Amino acid sequence: MSLVPKHIKNLLPYKPGRTIDSVKNEYNLEKIIKLASNENPLGPSLKSIGLSLNDLKNSHRYPDASGMKLRKKLAKKFDLKVENVILGSGSEGIMSSIMRTFLKDKDELISAEKSFIGFKVLANASGKKVIWVPKKNYKYDLESICSQINENTKIIYIANPDNPTGTYINKNEFDNFIKKVPKRVLVILDEAYFEYAAHVYDYPDSMEYRYDNVITLRTFSKVHGLAGFRVGYGFAHNELINNLMKVKLPFEPSSISQQVALAALEDEGHLLQTIELNLRELELMTKNLNKLDINYIPSVANFITIVLDNRNEVQKLVQFLLENGIIIRDLINFGLPKCIRVTIGLKEENYFFMKKIKEYYRK
Ligand SMILES: Cc1ncc(COP(=O)(O)O)c(C=O)c1O
């Protein structure tokens, strides 16, 4: 249809992972373990949900468009001013606003191949030229990214830790990189998984990097277990935030989402429990994979990517796991056809996953 621009016609729609219900129905199973979308296996803080339920009665009112309470709380927590904080419908909502706010005419974007697919979809939908730089050993090749900067480069996107590889850029690497990026280029530093990586000694604390051309994106979807509520936040220079505020949808996130996120910030116990569970279980999963001599990419996030011998192996293993009620992520759409990604689940979920892996390999 001529109404649809060519770059939209050519887009491949985002393919989400399998839902619990669809797998239940297809395989006639009672119980499903979903280790596919890097969600918090503990769920949300029930305290925060409970505290917020009362606010549902105000659902006939529009949300506070300035998101003031939540922005103030985030500013306080991270020692910033409220003018430096923005909210959105998930961090992807903010990514979308960034593109609509800052891209014009011949502007171009740079990122890495085989990185976060959500950014890829948005970047391709922008209709702008995007340079996808190959990774090195499953990591961003920052030198190569810098070498691709040209006079039209406007945005560089980096996820740290990265999804789906779980790798991270260390402090030194980031320091060297940022020195080479011209100030007219906006760096999106996507830290959706930062809480899981924060204990790593050389993981850069981006709060120390208050550069005028860096926007840090974070989310309530992962460690806070609120993916369904769609609340993301970003930190940047107030001039960037001011302009983003003009473009973002005025009433994102919804009132109840703002309220639940606010309450979630009060539940430090839930946050710590989530991080500790992940640390313990990630280590155990890694040990078990080592024992079985299974190839994987070392991860600092809440998931681990397993590298198999070939595509056929991936298809067979994904199918075997589905038939046993386990949903994991086939990474073909992320550009990694020989890989699967497994979210770190509850102790018993990970145990069941490993049991089935052993059974599959008959080890
Ligand atoms: C690197 C990365 N950034 C952003 C997101 C999306 O987060 P949100 O739910 O806040 O849009 C994800 C979710 O998987 C992710 O892996």
pLDDT in tens, 305-349: 999 999 999 999 999 999 999 999 999 999 999 999 999 999 999
Ligand 1 centroid to Cα of residue 292, in Å, is: 31
Task: For residues 353 and 7, give the distance between their C-alpha atoms in angstroms, rounded to a whole number.
Answer: 40
- Give yes or no for residue 219 CB within 6 A of ligand 1: yes
Counting from 1 in the atom list of ligand 1, the atom nearest the Cα of 232 is 10
pLDDT band at 78 (very low <50, low <70, confident <90, very high): very high
- Give yes or no for residue 70 CB within 6 A of ligand 1: no
- Give yes or no for residue 118 CB within 6 A of ligand 1: yes
Specify the DSSP class assigned to residue 131: E
Q: Quick one: pLDDT at residue 93?
A: 98
CA torsion through residues 332, 363, 353, 295, sign = negative
Ligand 1 centroid to Cα of residue 140, in Å, is: 17
Tens digit of pLDDT for each residue in 195-242? 999 999 999 988 887 899 999 999 999 999 999 999 999 999 999 999
Ligand 1 centroid to Cα of residue 141, in Å, is: 21
Specify the DSSP class assigned to residue 257: H
Range with the lowest mean pLDDT among 62-66, 79-83, 203-207, 336-340? Answer: 203-207
pLDDT band at 363 (very low <50, low <70, confident <90, very high): low
- Residue ranges per structural domain of the chain: 6-44+268-361, 57-264
CATH number of 6-44+268-361: 3.90.1150.10
Cα angle 249-92-242, degrees, rounded to a multiple of 5: 45
- Give yes or no for residue 227 CB within 6 A of ligand 1: yes
**Predicted confidence (pLDDT) at residue 1 exceeds the cutoff of 70:** no
- Give residue for tokens 């890989």: 339
Task: For residues 271 and 42, give the distance between their C-alpha atoms in angstroms, rounded to a whole number.
Answer: 10
| pTM of this structure | 0.95
Task: For residues 7 and 142, give the distance between their C-alpha atoms in angstroms, rounded to a whole number.
Answer: 27
Class of domain 57-264: alpha beta
Ligand 1 centroid to Cα of residue 247, in Å, is: 20
Residue 85 belongs to what H/E stretch?
strand 85-88
Q: Is 76 helix (H, G, I), strand (E, B) or coil?
A: helix
